[in-house]
Amino acid sequence: MMQGLAKKRIAVVGLGLSGLATVRFLQSLGIKPVLMDSRAKPAAIEQIAADKVDGIYLGKLDANRLAKMDMIVLSPGLAPSHPAIRFAVGQGVELVGDVELFARFCQKPIIAITGSNGKSTVTKLVETMLQHSGINALAAGNIGLPVLDAISQKNIDVFVLELSSFQLDTTTSLTSVASCIVNISADHLDRYSNMAAYTQSKQQVYQQTKLAVYNLDDAATKPLQAEQTLGINLAETNYGITLLDNKAWLKVAGEALLPVAKMSLFGAHNQFNALVAAALALAAGANRQGLITALQQFTPLAHRCSLVLEHKGVRWVNDSKATNIGATLAAIAGLKPSIAGNLILIAGGDGKGADMTELQPVLQREVQQLITLGKDGPAIARLKANSIEVKSLVAAVEAAAKLAKSGDMVLLSPACASLDMFTSYADRGEQFTQAVKAVLL
């Protein structure tokens, strides 16, 4: 494989985290790639030694130069439909992503996870379950550590990959011991022509997998082809929730595993995530005690239904990672049973072309007060009578503080991306946390 690459003219297009990792990986093989980025000055361009690459070209992508390559390694942030990329592919240039290179070189077992929501939690849960089972697992991919940086780490037994639809679009050689689509809901419709195209992209996670785990409550996640399949929902008899002595327990592989109350995560959506993670981890060699320990000790990921503050009987919850409609619907469904009083929802941002009317039934049935902000805040506000529209997150917190009473929950779950007002969903979540503490304490 290495010898085959060494003879190719390779362009790395897009110099973000995964692109820079790709450059390092190719250089470790003695290859000098051509580098391109559509930005005039990518943030980490100074990290690249000019003498170890075959040219750096910034700004508008050069279609003619790309067409002279044998292979393009494309960043997931750039669409394969970009005219310059399409032109090069039309000239016979091979188009791959960093995950495809990883798949071609990786010699260790892989667990692959995708979905519109919950995939990061499932990925980290699987990693933790395997580690508590004595297996050296490493989470990588869309979760933060680029796969081509991960592959260089020593003594890894299993790679647990979180994969976005963008990464899967350029991946054809993935082989996994187990894979799953956690769920599919409207997202990235500014990049995909319709939901069918987005779903087709997600289905790529099942390529060459031994076990395909899917969501029985979401028909779009059902594998179109797989060696072995396992459907899961909370009512399922093999993997689901069972009652023992009037207490809810997680049931895994036909046996009760752990009382739900002993999990460190809360909400029905996280019970489902735990079941999926358990099935994937067992397929890679985890043991039941490892699952139990992980579920009791797992630290919830930041900005995902995390409790910011409980003040005068009101819980303030940060779910800034809910960057699409499905994530917000899952958060409301998961949290609502635990709310004694009213649910006050703060939502809005950049809806990425999604049809916000999908929120309306739940907003009208489950949410007592809606506060909106951001680019698509007005569109969401129109879905519920007496909504409050504000210009800033601080104003949203102030409005919620005036309304909230003991037993209520104030939930930031935007159903939108953050980039219209913030640098990232994490920035939005941190600003929410700061605002809550500044207003209340």
Could you give the 3-state DSSP secondary structure of residue 391? coil
Listed in sequence order, the DSSP H helices in 236-348 are 268-283, 288-297, 325-335
**Catalytic (active site) residue 142:** yes
Residue 278 CA to residue 273 CA, distance in Å, equals 9
Q: How far is CA 433 from CA 100, 310, 376, 398, 429, in A?
A: 38, 12, 22, 13, 6
**Catalytic (active site) residue 386:** no
Strand 178-181 versus strand 110-114 pairing type: parallel
Token output for 405: 């009473």
Which strands, in side-by-side order, build the sheet including 56-58? 56-58, 34-37, 10-13, 71-74, 94-96
CA nearest to 268, candidates 220, 305, 298, 223: 305
Question: Is 331 within 8 Å of 413 (Cβ atoms)?
Answer: yes
Element of type H or E holding 343 = strand 343-347
Residue 155 CA to residue 139 CA, distance in Å, equals 14
- HSE-CB of 303 using CA atoms within 13 angstroms: 18
C-alpha angle 197-202-207 in degrees, rounded to nearest 5: 115
Question: Is 159 within 8 Å of 92 (Cβ atoms)?
Answer: no
The sign of the CA dihedral 422, 426, 427, 431 is positive
Dihedral angle over CA of 375, 377, 382, 384, nearest 10:
160
CA nearest to 184, candidates 196, 171, 175: 196
Choosing from 117, 119, 124, 202, the catalytic residue is 119
Could you give the 3-state DSSP secondary structure of residue 211? coil
With a CB cutoff of 8 Å and minimum separation 6, the contacts of 335 are 266, 267, 305, 317, 343, 409, 411
Strand 34-37 versus strand 314-318 pairing type: unpaired
Question: Is 123 within 8 Å of 117 (Cβ atoms)?
Answer: no
Choosing from 188, 269, 352, 384, the catalytic residue is 188
Name the residue with tokens 């993670």. 277
**Catalytic (active site) residue 188:** yes
Residue 212 CA to residue 216 CA, distance in Å, equals 12
Choosing from 117, 124, 132, 142, the catalytic residue is 142
Token output for 41: 């000055």
Residues annotated as part of the active site? 119, 142, 188
